[in-house]
Chains A and B, each alone.
Chain A
C-alpha cells in the first residue's frame, strides 16, 4: 500500500525557515517523480515544486522560486522541501504527492498534509 507521510509543519515567524519531510512507502521511491502542492486556508490548490526520480530535474512555482528548494534522499525514501524567507502568504497545508509515469503525469497518491503557519 502506497503511503506518504508529511512532517515538519510548524508556526514560524516571517523571514524564517522550515524544512518539510515526506516519508514514502509501498512503492519504489526512486522510480517516481514527486511534487509538493499547497493549499492556503479556504483556498484552492497551488502546485509548488517538482523533482524527478533521480533529482536531475526540479521545477518551482514563480511564487516560491529562489526561496524554496526541493530535494530527495532515495536511500531513505524521503522527499524534502526547504523553505526560507517565509512570508505570511506561504501559510498553507503542504501536501506531497507521487507523480504517475511521465506518459500520464497525474498525482495519484497524496499525503495527509502538514500545516505551515507564518505569523509573528
Chain B
C-alpha cells in the first residue's frame, strides 16, 4: 500500500503569513495528489486535486505543486478562516490513502 506522510504535524502561524505543508508518498504517484481542509465538527472539503488544480470556489491563495513523491500545499497569505486541519490524499491507487494531517493553529 502507498503510505502518505505529512510534515509538519502541526504548525503555528499568524494572519498574513505564507505557509507550506509538505506531503511525501512512499512511491511515485505521478500527479494524483489531493488536498483537503477540515474544520472541527465539519466534513472535509476538497481544496486541490491532481496536485495543482484548484477546486471550484476555493480562494486563489491556496496552491499546490509537486510530482512523483513530493508535494506541497501553500497558502500565500493566511486568513482567519484558514486555521484548520489539512490532509493530503493519494489517488494513484484505488486505496485512497490519506496523510496523517497537519493542524494549522494561530
Contacts and interface: CB of A to CB of B under 8 A. Distances in A.
A51 to B, nearest CB: 10
Contacts of A106: 34, 46, 49-50, 55, 89, 91
A2 B95 CA distance: 24
A108 interface: yes
B22 interface: no
B101 A47 contact: no
A111 B100 contact: no
Interface size grouping (class) on chain B: 20 to 34
B46 A44 contact: no
B44 interface: yes
Interface size grouping (class) on chain A: 20 to 34
Contact of A47 (B45, B49, B95): B95
Interface in B39-60: 43-46, 49-50, 53, 55
A59 B49 contact: no
Contact of B95 (A45, A61, A107, A111): A61
B94 A59 contact: yes
A105 B97 CA distance: 12
Contacts of B97: 47
Interface of B: 1, 32, 34, 36, 38, 43-46, 49-50, 53, 55, 85, 87, 89, 91, 94-101
